[in-house]
Amino acid sequence: MPPLALHHSDHAISEHVLPTLADCYQGALVLFTPPLIGGMPPAGAIKASRWRNTALLEQDLERYAARYPGGDKRAITSLWSKWHFSALTVPTLASHLLLNRDLPVELDDVHVIFNEEGCTKQLWLPHEGALLETQDSSERFAKLITQHWVPLIERLAAISGTAPRVFWSNAGGYLNYYVNVLAEYPEVNQEALKAARVLLESRHIDGQRNPLFEPVRTYTPKDSDEVKQVRKLCCLRYLLDEFSVCSNCPLEGCDRVARKRAT
């Protein structure tokens, strides 16, 4: 599972203009692998567009599910989605916030390279996209949200029986985290950053309920001065014997056995 916290490198991004997406993978992003851009997709890469077929998506999930024989399908699918959402969110936000470019991350354009466990390790993209001119949040992030997350989440929910809001919470959690990480970069495009924050802070986008609204909330526990962050929804990983709850899980402190019994 990708780390929930990034360790900043002493190697900060250089002050020159960043011409390519790969140049962004310094500083906090140094531990991540940038997408492959252009040319032929590598051998073994699969077209993400095949996931429009629910049966093919379920087939691609079987390798990861084999790690948890008899495990709860909802939790397995949720964890698999977190790998993919992280691999997708990092380059998309780096491109938006540092280069002001719109990566071609539509489901129909992306190829996916799996790791040995059957999770998304790296992406292949046909090109680095065009410069963005609009500051409208829904327009800026349409390729990511409406043309990738919407169809994929619909099918993940169908094959797992998990409520779609769980997957939106997974996606939004990464979106929220990496927006805050990249906001610290001196090269961040302030207009792009504002658009990203509007996306996370708006209850409605284009007159529709925004499933990415406040995926992570900040609060101060009673009788404590510590400020904590908590996800809006649990990712369900506790349903697998191998995991407990995350440190920012809304169920933290609840009895694990009782939670399982109530599910």
pLDDT digits (tens, 9 = 90+) for 101-132: 999 999 999 999 999 999 999 999 999 999 99
Of 78, 69, 4, 67, nearest in space to 263 by CA: 78
In a domain? residue 247: no
Domain count of the fold of the chain: 1
* Higher local confidence (pLDDT), 101 or 255: 101
Question: Domain range holding 143?
Answer: 21-201
What is the structure's pLDDT at 220? 66
> Do the beta carbons of residue 6 and residue 28 sit within 8 Å?
yes
In a domain? residue 152: yes
What is the structure's pLDDT at 72? 94
Intra-chain end-to-end CA distance of the chain, in Å = 24
Of 52, 69, 67, 173, nearest in space to 115 by CA: 67
pLDDT of 2 > 70? The answer is: no
Mean of pLDDT over the chain: 86
pLDDT digits (tens, 9 = 90+) for 183-236: 999 999 999 999 999 999 999 988 899 999 988 877 666 666 776 777 778 888
Q: Indicate the helix (H) or strand (E) that contains 249.
A: none
In a domain? residue 244: no
* Distance from C-alpha of 137 to C-alpha of 55, rounded to nearest angstrom: 33
In a domain? residue 263: no
In a domain? residue 55: yes
pLDDT of 1 > 90? The answer is: no
- Per-residue pLDDT band at 251 (split at 50, 70, 90): low
**pTM, entire model:** 0.85
What average pLDDT does the segment 250-260 reach? 51
